[in-house]
Amino acid sequence: MAARRNTKPKKETPKEPKEIIIKPPKEIKETKSVPITVELNILKVLINERPLIPLLRVLKKNKELHTRELLITMGSWGYGQSLMKRATNLGLIERKVKKEKSRGRGKPRIYNALTNKGREVVKLADRIGYEK
């Protein structure tokens, strides 16, 4: 280390303490707690399967969508399909095969709709204020 040249020791002068202004906190409105009665299974799904909530909200808004429309609306293909599988296995989504006459050849479309359990999960997420 190099020594500093031409440095004078600083004289310590007592500093006056700065005035600290303490603002009173803003008034907080008291809210009453409201008990929510929920089935344990629905609460478990909401806690353990949080990524499914945006998928379920899209289906709640649109009633029934075929798979391609659902994945485009979500903006996710690979991950969206895995979410759909999880939701189907948990019984939150019902998948129905519908054949359309005007389509000609090709695979029939599979439409996805919420089940009653899925609606309850979304309703609970909205009540407790779950955000995206």
Domains of the chain: 40-128 (1.10.10.10)
pTM comes to 0.65
Q: 114 burial class (0-12, 13-18, 19+ CB within 10 angstroms)? A: buried
One digit per residue, the tens of pLDDT, for the chain of length 132 reads 566 666 666 666 666 667 777 777 777 777 777 676 777 888 888 888 888 999 999 999 988 888 889 989 888 888 889 999 999 999 999 999 887 766 567 778 889 999 999 999 999 888 887 776
Which pair of structure tokens corresponds to residue 93?
């989504």
The pLDDT score that the predictor gives to residue 111 is 92
Q: How far apart are CA 9 and CA 108, in angstroms?
A: 87
Distance CA 20, CA 5 (A): 39
Closest CA to 91 of 41, 36, 47, 37: 41
pLDDT at position 33 is 72
